[in-house]
Amino acid sequence: MTIVVEGRALTQDYHVRSGLFSKASTVRAVKGVDFAVERGKTLAIVGESGSGKSTLARIIALIDPQSGGSLKIEGEEVNIARRRLTPQMRSKVQMVFQNPYGSLNPRQKVGDVLMEPLALNTSMPADERRDRAEAMLAKVGLMPEHFNRYPHMFSGGQRQRIAIARALMLNPALLVLDEPVSALDLSVQAQVLNLLADLQEEFNLTYVFISHDLSVVRYIADDVLVLSKGEAVEQGSREALFADPQHPYTRQLFAATPVTDVAAIRARVERRKAARLARQHT
């Protein structure tokens, strides 16, 4: 098995100034995180707001340089603070963002959205770029006539399909997905999760999937890393983690996640009835 992405003791510091003349202080948003993901597998990074999960995602997606630690993509050490990112490396790692309304340029036609990564990173001729973009459109479940439309003409789910198609244009090995379905309705969420599963199988893609939603993670992940205040408090296989969470924070997350099974609802309804009766008697 080949490791596609590996992080060792990754840290990220932000320097923040609280006032114009005050001294800058340092906030460590990611505090030494280790992980490795094999080809074709999905690592889910779970955490709440402020846990550093998006900061970590931006490091892995080669958007922000890490402050410390090492990041390897397909065995090759990458630090974009030291050396400029090569087009080859850029092609290997792509990202899909949470908000499909904000991540597409409203003035760019869908076809141009898809062809742009090829124009920037390859020397492919224009007609081949066009063919590739049309083929990719079909892959993500859109129609050829969508090629010349603008993002505002699409629904949220369709826009997220476009964002996924754009990320796949360069044949990446690794896709970093930052909350890709949390802005979508439940039924659309199901479609996009299915699409991601299909694409992973077809292209043998590796996913780093950032999420706060444990039910989505349980569905899509092979391995899970739980992040709290910048620290990886627990990591392991999905089966192990969901069967027997060890860390108090993980347990707290599980306890807070709403359950929809009938037995739990019945128990709650009974409790409420009893409480109501008790109140009437007093």
Least Å from the CB of residue 69 to other proteins = 26
**How far from 86 is each of 74, 79, 174, CA to CA, in Å?**
14, 11, 16
Least Å from the CB of residue 262 to other proteins = 5
Got the DSSP string for 11-30?
Answer: EEEEEE-SSSSSPPEEEEEE
Least Å from the CB of residue 46 to other proteins = 10
Binding interface with other proteins (CB under 8 A): 48-49, 156, 185-191, 193-194, 197, 212-216, 218-220, 252-253, 255-262, 264-266, 268-269, 272, 275-276, 279
Looking at the Cβ atoms of 2 and 215, the one nearer to other proteins is 215
Q: What are phi and psi for residue 131, nearest 5 degrees?
A: -60, -45
Length reported for the chain: 282
Q: What single-letter DSSP state applies at residue 245?
A: -
Least Å from the CB of residue 141 to other proteins = 11
Looking at the Cβ atoms of 49 and 123, the one nearer to other proteins is 49
Least Å from the CB of residue 187 to other proteins = 4
Looking at the Cβ atoms of 76 and 198, the one nearer to other proteins is 198
Looking at the Cβ atoms of 123 and 260, the one nearer to other proteins is 260
Question: What is the SS3 assignment for 144?
Answer: helix
Q: Closest by alpha carbon to 47, among 225, 241, 255, 238? A: 225
Least Å from the CB of residue 120 to other proteins = 34
Q: Which amino acid is at 165?
A: A
Looking at the Cβ atoms of 63 and 264, the one nearer to other proteins is 264
Q: What is the CA radius of gyration of the chain?
A: 22
Least Å from the CB of residue 209 to other proteins = 12
Helices 156-168 and 126-139 pack at an angle, to 10 degrees, of: 130
Looking at the Cβ atoms of 39 and 212, the one nearer to other proteins is 212
**Is 191 buried (19+), middle (13-18) or exposed (0-12) by CB count in 10 A?**
middle
Helices 110-121 and 126-139 pack at an angle, to 10 degrees, of: 130
Looking at the Cβ atoms of 51 and 94, the one nearer to other proteins is 51
